[in-house]
Structure 1
Amino acid sequence: MKKITQGLLLATAIAASFSSQAAEPETVLIGLAGPLTGPSARIGKDLENGAQLAINDANQQHPKIGGKAVQFKLVSEDDQSDPRTAVAVAQRLVDAGVAGVVGHWNTGTSIPAARIYHDAGIAQVAPVATGHAYTQQGFDTSFRVMGHDDDGGRDAGEYALKVLKAKRIAVLDDRTAFGQGLADEFVKSLKAQGVEVVDREYVDEKTVDFSAVLTSIRSKNADLIFFGGVDSQAAPLARRIKQLGLNATLMGAGGFVSQTFLKLAQKEGEGVVALEPGLPLEKMPGGKAFDQAYRDRYHAPIELHAPFAYDATRVLIAAIEQADSTDAADYLPKLRAISYQGVTGTLAFDAQGNLKNPSFTVYKVIDGKWVPQDVLGGAAQ
């Protein structure tokens, strides 16, 4: 009798163990690629924070795939904003078995990484990467959740002439895929309106002294300087414009509107104008709630693009859940056809993977703060 009882107890324990193991949710990996070190690390961390909030929120809903409980997990990789590193990072994420990837941050890294994800057959949902060339490669695995620079450059050009009333415009860019591509679209917009730039200058993405190019621009009596580049360079550029006494407005797009720019530019940033993809945080459908959740979790304000990283992650997860499968062959058709109500607005993609009906917001630095001036496109129509 004692042996029978012991046998029953052992069998019960084994059954309970198997039951416990069966109840453990399966892990589904979602990749995150961005600059987690280097000059743009605060942007990369902001993206990672936004994506992690999305993972947390998705897991709180106790998701199931194929009838089994799952738990999503973020796997982050640092591409250092370097194209060659981005390719290696993309391959590591593929080798790790991620279901899909949120990333990369800039166009220069997103373009080469896209082929790796395409060859592996998994989705790449870029939270930023505004260069149109990223989705012009023809990969059916590439998506973006904000407007691209063809639209942004056109809108910026129209705003410069019609609202800012600029007469003599100089254009400067950092020769990156993002910066030069954006500047080219801005120039194209001006030409379509019958205006030629008075000067076109170039630097590289590591330039810190803008004296030479600004001396040339000053000789052309420019009243507006458009810069295709990011906030870490825009701030010293704004400072040097003031120091040289140029009577010109600095304008940029898709990379200026950050807390970092305000800290670096300080008083010299006053009056700077920038066009940024998306709605102002306070006008985003879920902006206020997201802002509070971000501050509660990270005890800091949003740097720049966290809401877009959140939406890129959630729309990828939504497609996986709609397909009831982590196999990209099953969820990619769902992602292409999706209409998802996100924090930043409605996410739906065109045939190239671009966001449909994107919005752009024009900001101006007033009293040391970025203040929204106008919303163009998308929700403004």
Structure 2
Amino acid sequence: MLKLSRNLLRMGAVILYTAVAAGAACAANPSGAQPAAASQPLGIGFAGPLSNPILKSARDGALLAIEEHNARQAPVAHGAHPAMQFTLLEQDDRSEAHLARYSAQYFVRSGVIGIVGHWSTEVALAVADIYEEHAIAQLMFTAAIPQFTAKGYSTAFRLLGSSDRTALYLAESALTTLGARRVAVIANNSGFGQALAKEFLAQMAARREPAQLVYQAMVSSKTSDFNAALQGLEASKPDLVLFSANSLQAVSFVNGIGRSKLSAALLLTGGAVNQKLSLPADSRISLYTLEPDADLRGCPGWKAFRERFEQRFKRAPSSFSRYAYNAANTLMEAATQAGGGGPKLLAELHEKSYKGLSGQIAFDKNGNTKNDFYTLYRNDAAGWTPLKEFASGAAPACR
């Protein structure tokens, strides 16, 4: 009986030692990420308003990247370290800052190595300090205002051009390509909408032959009623209207302006290519959008991605599907090279370049993309047709 008691005490000591050792390991690894030799898959977080179909398509893009990576890993010999595997952990933050902080804490507890998201700049900034504290990479797959990477976070990375870069190409599209001389700007009250409108007006004013700003208004980011703004537009008679807002409001605005008496070009911002927009037969509005990516329809790699996505999810990908696909692949490649998450992963992201669907993905010291691509599209009977392409840095894929 005494011998049995001593054995039990020894077992208890072993269990206690194991628990303490595990706790010490977690303390030494603030990101919670497992090393490359771990048998458990490394977590990648995805956050956004998942009730929206566009966000679901982005989530599916990240999921496809992870499934493909895991499938490519060859079985390992007995006794060797297992190949690095990944899993996607998703959180619906409804694009609200206070909910996003709960999502961020969940990701910390789950030990993820990186985040694909969040959807809006306001939400991304609201949780950036949490990811910085725990050395978790945060890859924004939507165009964000410059402040996201200007605050000095080592964990903040931007896959697309910021709003100041977008505004540069919007002004080029509006004033040079489309030849606008009387411009109106309608912006919603989100951080993205306001920052983009401000930068666009600054770009317009800096031109040698600037266009005239004939009307400007701000609308709620939650509204679908644009009657007051439309009355102002009809009274000011612009030849081009910039609608500075995310793509989720584009349908309502297009429907409203399509019924107006205006004869003008309507220039939308990123994400409109995912929407099926139509105008009445007698409308005198012409539709354009500037999208933060190259036109990839002639690229074999893009066609193969589209086919794999459609086979897996039974629907076509959105532009955000490929942005999130790129983000997840970048995280996994960097983690594989770094041997896991944490500071080594962050250093890898800052120092190396990665292959994306549009071309090389690389970040500067602040986490901004070095290579940004934009395409101006016109909406016609064939749908969205590319009109002009803009790029800085490396050339896009298939060029």
* TM-score normalised by L of structure 1: 0.87
Aligned to 1:45: 56
Structure 1 residue identity aligned to 2:59: E
Residue 264 (structure 1) shift: 7.3
Residue 372 (structure 1) shift: 1.2
8 A contact 1:284–1:345 mirrored in 2: no
Aligned to 2:44: 30
Structure 2 residue identity aligned to 1:29: G
Structure 1 residue identity aligned to 2:163: D
Distance 1:154 1:340, change over 3 A: same
Aligned to 1:291: 306
SS at match of 1:197: strand
**Aligned partner (choices 227, 231, 236) of residue 215 of structure 1:** 231
SS at match of 2:242: strand
SS at match of 1:90: helix
Q: Is residue 65 of structure 2 the alignment partner of residue 54 of structure 1?
A: yes
Aligned to 2:180: 166
Write the distance in 1 (CA, Å) between the matches of 2:198 and 2:343. 37
Aligned to 2:24: none
8 A contact 2:269–2:291 mirrored in 1: yes
Aligned to 2:264: 248
Residue 174 (structure 1) shift: 0.7
Aligned to 1:236: 252
8 A contact 2:186–2:241 mirrored in 1: yes
Aligned to 1:312: 327
8 A contact 2:42–2:113 mirrored in 1: yes
Residue 285 (structure 1) shift: 6.8
Residue 185 (structure 1) shift: 1.3
Aligned to 1:110: 124
Write the distance in 2 (CA, Å) between the matches of 1:176 and 1:265. 26
What whole-Å deviation, never above 9, does each CA across 1:184-242 have from its counterpart, x for those lacking one? Answer: 11111101113341111000111111111111122111111101112232222112212
Structure 2 residue identity aligned to 1:238: V
SS at match of 2:87: strand
SS at match of 2:237: coil
Write the distance in 2 (CA, Å) between the matches of 1:318 and 1:335. 9
Write the distance in 1 (CA, Å) between the matches of 2:300 and 2:255. 35
What whole-Å deviation, never above 9, does each CA across 1:337-358 have from its counterpart, x for those lacking one? Answer: 1111121210000111111120
Structure 2 residue identity aligned to 1:321: T
SS at match of 2:150: helix
**Aligned partner (choices 192, 204, 219) of residue 203 of structure 1:** 219
Aligned to 1:227: 243
8 A contact 1:34–1:103 mirrored in 2: yes
8 A contact 2:186–2:243 mirrored in 1: yes
Write the distance in 2 (CA, Å) between the matches of 1:228 and 1:189. 14
Residue 270 (structure 1) shift: 6.9
Write the distance in 1 (CA, Å) between the matches of 2:280 and 2:115. 36
Aligned to 1:69: 83
8 A contact 2:38–2:82 mirrored in 1: no
Write the distance in 2 (CA, Å) between the matches of 1:32 and 1:350. 23
Write the distance in 2 (CA, Å) between the matches of 1:366 and 1:351. 41
Q: Is residue 313 of structure 2 the alignment partner of residue 302 of structure 1?
A: no
Write the distance in 2 (CA, Å) between the matches of 1:231 and 1:266. 20
Residue 92 (structure 1) shift: 1.4
What whole-Å deviation, never above 9, does each CA across 1:55-81 have from its counterpart, x for those lacking one? Answer: 0111122279x9433321100111112
Aligned to 1:94: 108
Structure 2 residue identity aligned to 1:58: H
SS at match of 2:94: coil
| 1:324-343 correspondence to structure 2 within 5 Å | 324=339, 326-343=340-357
Q: Any gaps of 5 or more consecutive residues in structure 1?
A: 1-22
Q: How many residues align?
A: 352
Write the distance in 2 (CA, Å) between the matches of 1:336 and 1:32. 21
**Aligned partner (choices 93, 113, 133) of residue 119 of structure 1:** 133
Write the distance in 2 (CA, Å) between the matches of 1:73 and 1:266. 46
Distance 1:124 1:354, change over 3 A: same
Distance 1:246 1:266, change over 3 A: closer
Structure 2 residue identity aligned to 1:57: E
SS at match of 1:340: strand
Distance 1:303 1:265, change over 3 A: farther
Aligned to 1:273: 288
SS at match of 1:198: strand
Q: Any gaps of 5 or more consecutive residues in structure 2?
A: 1-36
8 A contact 1:224–1:251 mirrored in 2: yes
Percent of aligned pairs with the same residue? 34
Residue 283 (structure 1) shift: 4.8
